[in-house]
Amino acid sequence: MKILVIAEHDNQKLAPATAHALGAAKALGAAADVLVAGHGCRAVAEQAAKLEGVARVLLADSPALADLTAEALAAQALQIAKEYTHILVPATAFGKNVAPRIAALLDVAQISDIVKVIDADTFVRPIYAGNALATVRSGDPVKVITVRGTAFDAVGEGGNAPIETIEAIAESGPTKVVGREVTKSARPELTNARVIVSGGRGLGSAEKFHELLEPLADKLGAAIGASRAAVDAGYAPNDYQVGQTGKIVAPELYVAIGISGAIQHLAGMKDSKVIVAINKDPEAPIFQVADYGLVADLFQAVPELTQKL
């Protein structure tokens, strides 16, 4: 078994999702090489070298990789992919963009969003918005896998892997990044937060969404999430969306406020340790997964909760 983990980063910082992908490598039972492909990204390689379970960090540094496009990253990964039995990538927007490209170019299946390793060829993954779990076995020589971060603990620090520079691709391909609009927030990142306060259409407006949720999140040291309806209505930015087609989260505490609990939303949060729901409709499906349900008008209950905490 030889495992390659593809690091997610922005040329400066290693994304925490990478340590969760290494958690899946640990479940497979072997140390992994980590590919850091980018430009001016030695600092990222140094961060990766400190993680547990890393055999070597392979640093590919080239202007052609600066934009971190799927085309360039896949081309870089292909240079070394055949040396490995498993290629693990975080199941994030970054990983989902690039992993299928690598798999197709290797003519192998890609296994999406694994939540469990059974053995070197066999994995469990959710289907139908997590309403079923499929155990799948791959017969391909290289397994290209995306790893659901909430299902594998991040490896810790304490490693000291060597960093080896490998030959980087010279051509970036035709795709250029011409703009980035990064959601700025001093709050914890959604997929790593211990507490999440999440708002839905019940908040009624962007103003109320912020007016009610920000102070509560401040008190709890929480990240803020949202339902699709809240994002569609412009109450919150797109990367706040929790669910089947948004982010998958599993905090210690998830507080769902004015969210009905559609299966697509539950798919993203039902593995949270403790779920609280505040909704004025006693029939709302969110109460079926909530550990603590409060039937109340959120416009009264949320300020009261914030004040009493």
Partner 1 sequence: MKILVPVKRVVDYNVKIRVKPDGSGVDTANVKMSMNPFDEIAVEEAIRLKEAGVASEVVAVSCGVAQCQETLRAAMAMGADRGILVQTDVELQPLAVAKLLKAVVEKEQPGLVIAGKQAIDDDANQTGQMLAALLGWPQATFASKVVVTDGKLTVTREVDGGLETLELPLPAVITTDLRLNEPRFATLPNIMKAKKKPIDTLTPEALGVDVTPRLATLKVEEPPKRKAGVMVGSVDELIEKLRNEAKVI
Residues lying near ligand FAD in the complex (CB under 6 A) are found at 200-202, 227-230, 241-246, 258-260, 262, 264-265, 268, 279-281, 284, 297-299
- 3-state class (DSSP) for residue 169: coil
Q: Which does 247 bind (CB under 5 to 8 A by kind): ligand FAD, partner 1, none?
A: partner 1
Which C-beta is closer to partner 1: that of 206 or that of 274?
274
Residue 94: Cβ within 10 Å count = 22
- CB of residue 132 vs partner 1: minimum separation in angstroms? 5
Tell me the C-alpha distance between 279 and 260, whole Å: 7
- CB of residue 254 vs ligand FAD: minimum separation in angstroms? 12
Tell me the C-alpha distance between 224 and 105, whole Å: 38
Q: Which does 100 bind (CB under 5 to 8 A by kind): partner 1, ligand FAD, none?
A: partner 1
Tell me the C-alpha distance between 8 and 81, whole Å: 17
The beta strand positions in 201-302, using DSSP E, are 223-226, 253-257, 274-279, 292-295
Q: Is 213 in the site for partner 1 (CB under 8 A)?
A: no
41 in the Ramachandran plot: left (φ > 0), alpha (ψ -120 to 50) or beta? alpha
Q: Is 108 in the site for partner 1 (CB under 8 A)?
A: yes
Which C-beta is closer to partner 1: that of 80 or that of 105?
105
Exactly one of 119, 158, 160, 178 binds partner 1 (CB under 8 A); that residue is: 178
Which C-beta is closer to ligand FAD: that of 224 or that of 284?
284
- CB of residue 165 vs partner 1: minimum separation in angstroms? 26
User: Which is nearest to 141 in space by CA: 114, 112, 113, 103?
Assistant: 103
- 3-state class (DSSP) for residue 76: helix
Exactly one of 16, 173, 188, 204 binds partner 1 (CB under 8 A); that residue is: 173
Exactly one of 84, 94, 209, 235 binds partner 1 (CB under 8 A); that residue is: 94
| Residues 295, 204 contacting (CB under 8 angstroms) | no
Q: Is 167 in the site for partner 1 (CB under 8 A)?
A: no
Q: Is 170 in the site for partner 1 (CB under 8 A)?
A: no
Dig out the tokens for 259 from the structure: 């969210």
- CB of residue 214 vs ligand FAD: minimum separation in angstroms? 18
- CB of residue 231 vs partner 1: minimum separation in angstroms? 7
Dig out the tokens for 240 from the structure: 């706040």
- CB of residue 281 vs partner 1: minimum separation in angstroms? 13
| Residues 148, 159 contacting (CB under 8 angstroms) | no
